[in-house]
Amino acid sequence: MTTALPAIAFDNSYARELEGLYAHVQASHVPAPRLLRFNQALAAELGLDLDGFDHATLAALFAGMQVPAGATPLAQAYAGHQFGGFSPQLGDGRALLLGEVIDVLGRRRDIALKGSGCTPFSRGGDGKAAVGPVLREYLVGEAMHALGVPTTRALAAVSTGEQVQREGLLPGAVLTRVAASHVRVGTFQYFAAHGEIDKLRRLADYVIARHDPQLLGSAEPYLGLLQAVAERQASLIARWMHLGFIHGVMNTDNMTISGETIDYGPCAFMEAYDPGAVFSSIDRQGRYTYSNQPQIARWNLARLAEALLPLMGSDVQRAIDQAMGVLDEFPARYEAHWLQGARAKLGLLEAQDGDLELAQDWLALLHSQAVDFTLAWRHLAAVAAQAEGAAPQGQVLPPNALQAMFVDANALNAWLARWQARLAGEAAQPPGQRAAAMRAVSPIYIPRNALVEEALSAASDHGNLKPFEDFLAVLSQPFVERPGLDRYAQPAPPEVTANYQTFCGT
Ligand code: AMP
Ligand code: MG
């Protein structure tokens, strides 16, 4: 036990290289910081040596009350299109970048606080966060990581001992967030909108050096950056879609340049498959509906392209044509990622014509019978296992679990026959291998909305962290079915899902 602060080997390139693009800020004092959760595994990955420190020290550190040596707390400037409307001045209104570390794999990672008090970008907000939304971001973000999705991570959650005013009074908290960087589409928009082209160029050069160093010295680095971001987003959104993840607030300030998912405010996971699923209470027009996510990503990339145009040479028409080229090919780029993911989920090793249709027809089947998306994929893996093992070749033998989810089993059987015929056309695999591969991409446990709410309300309303801890442990191995966890795999009753609403995590 020690009261000294941990030594953290910060190397703060954003502070050092991008002066004028942020504001120096200190975190607010909070009355009684208490550590709710600390992510030891992530700390180890970051190379942080926090082992000998007691909870009080870590709580003070992750509440921002004690600034470790080498930290340069700052609030980043950014703008953004929110639900389609442009806000030229957003910025870190309640977040502070403490600094960057180089992790054990040599990757530069931001360590930032969220909910640590007002900044010059707070725009009348209180700069705070509440326990519920902080734990929500912790839980869902860590679940996404375990699901293999690029995401910001949660290093710690601290309650502040303070009440924050929302619809009522709620216990306050601070999240410590780790990211490949916090640069967003909106960061570029800020400097483009303010006509600060020199800063825009410095930002772009910085981002290229940090995220796309292969572009350094290339003939068209800014076009290359747009392409690289488009590629990462195409891959990311395809992953979301294959998990039934609905981000809920894909504003341009919530789209990272790194390709990590950021901001788990009103996000939700779909249960019964429905392309029109939307849960956010503020998304009244359904802009960020599940099936709109790829188009919204393209729309956001168009905003990035606009912001980058001033850097893309004096021949404006040529620059526009080049940027349009990237945007026009985005749907195909996305489709390619999606189809690759769909093949894996269907247990297909080879690419054949008709695979897209096979996948789409499966989804249409799930939609028409309102079948739980996650369990349907999981039970399909069970069918593959059975077909590989006991079933005579070619015979359709869906185990009861899959059958039971469908009202009309005939439609299911017809599709299964097609799928099994398609599988039979591939080289044979050792028994069980295909099913194992399918299970490795189709989880049994996801952050089901009702269970998330249950865990958060226990923590926020009753100070009981046990349901949160238990759920976090379940979600840390989402692909591995374990005995005794059946309730975590079950969808909520349809009437619960029908009325489920999420709220912005403010
Ligand atoms: P978000 O909806 O969390 O992505 O935030 C959108 C913008 O609102 C960002 O500029 C945030 O910094 C700002 N913001 C959100 N909540 C607060 C708050 N409680 N206090 C100050 N700024 C906030
Ligand atoms: Mg945000």
In the predicted model, is pLDDT for residue 466 greater than 60? yes
Among 25, 78, 81, 94, the mutation site with the greatest number of ligand 1 atoms within 8 A of its Cβ is 94
pLDDT, mean of residues 396-409: 79
Query: Which amino acid, one-letter code, is at 153?
Result: R
Cα–Cα dist 401/379, whole Å: 7
What pLDDT, on a 0 to 100 scale, did the predictor assign at position 506? 59
Mean pLDDT value of segment 384-402: 64
Cβ–Cβ < 8 Å for 260, 152: yes
Sign of the dihedral defined by the CA atoms of residues 292, 282, 186, 306, in that order: positive
Query: pTM for the complete prediction?
Result: 0.96
Mean pLDDT within 265-279: 95
Rounded to the nearest whole angstrom, what is the distance from the C-alpha of residue 19 to the centroid of ligand 2?
Answer: 22
Q: Identify which of 134, 300, 506 to mutate to test ligand 1's pocket (most ligand atoms within 8 A of the CB).
A: 506
Cα–ligand 1 centroid distance for 134 (angstroms): 13
How many CA within 13 A on the CB side of residue 130?
A: 22
Per the annotation, the verdict on 92 as an active-site residue is: no
In ligand 1, the atom with minimum distance to the C-alpha of 164 is 19
Atom of ligand 1 minimally distant from the CA of 251: 4
Average pLDDT over residues 306-333: 98
pLDDT in tens, 219-232: 999 999 999 999 99
Q: Are strands 169-179 and 34-38 parallel, antiparallel or unpaired?
A: unpaired
Residues near ion ligand 2 (Cβ under 5 Å): 254, 263
Scanning the structure block, which residue is given the tokens 């975190």? Answer: 27
What's the confidence (pLDDT) of residue 498?
Answer: 80
Tokens of 194: 């303010």
Of all ligands present, the nearest one to the C-alpha of 122 is: 1
Q: Residue of the nearest CA to atom 11 in ligand 1?
A: 93
Helix (H) or strand (E) holding 300: helix 293-308
Q: Look up residue 477 and give its two tokens.
A: 């191995």
Asked if residue 2 has pLDDT above 50, the reply is no
Q: Is 101 helix (H, G, I), strand (E, B) or coil?
A: strand
Q: Which of 253, 263, 283, 372 is catalytic?
A: 253
What residue spans of 212-292 are helical by DSSP H? 221-243
> Percent of the chain having pLDDT more than 70?
97
- 37 Cα: distance to centroid of ligand 1 (angstroms): 23
In a 3-state reduction of DSSP, which class is residue 495?
helix
**Any idea which ligand is nearest the CA of 182?**
2
Tokens 């059958």 sit on residue: 403
- Closest ligand 1 atom, CA of 126? 20
Separation CA 251–CA 296 (nearest Å)? 9
% of the chain beyond a pLDDT of 90: 89
Contacts 24+ apart (CB under 8 A), 214-220: 220/312, 220/322
**Is residue 394 very low, low, confident or very high in pLDDT (cuts 50, 70, 90)?**
very low
| Selection from 460, 485, 486 nearest residue 470 by Cα | 485
Q: Is 153 helix (H, G, I), strand (E, B) or coil?
A: strand
Alpha-carbon distances, residue 98 vs 111, 333, 372, 375 (angstroms): 6, 36, 41, 41
In a mutational test of the pocket of ligand 1, which residue from 74, 119, 123 has the highest number of ligand atoms less than 8 Å from its CB?
123
Three-state SS string over 304-344 comes to HHHHHHHHCCCCHHHHHHHHHHHHHHHHHHHHHHHHHHHHH
For residues 450-468, give the mean pLDDT.
Answer: 97
What per-residue confidence (pLDDT) applies to 7? 92
For residue 495, pLDDT over 90 is answered with no
Q: Which one of the ligands is nearest to 173 CA?
A: 1
Report residue 118's pLDDT band, with 50, 70 and 90 as the boundaries: very high
473 CA to centre of ligand 1 in angstroms: 29
Confidence at 505, pLDDT banded by 50, 70, 90: low
373-399 burial, b if ≥16 CB within 10 A, otherwise e?
bbbbbbbbbbbbbbbbeeeeeeebebe
Q: Which atom of ligand 1 is nearest to the CA of 92?
A: 12
The tokens describing 31, both together, are 């009355």
| pLDDT at residue 392, as a whole number | 44
Residues with CB under 6 A from ligand 1: 90-94, 121-122, 125-128, 253-254, 263, 265, 504, 506
Identify the residue whose C-alpha is closest to ligand 1 atom 15: 506
* Ligand at shortest distance from the CA of 133: 1
438/424 Cα distance (integer angstroms): 16
Averaged pLDDT, 68-74: 96
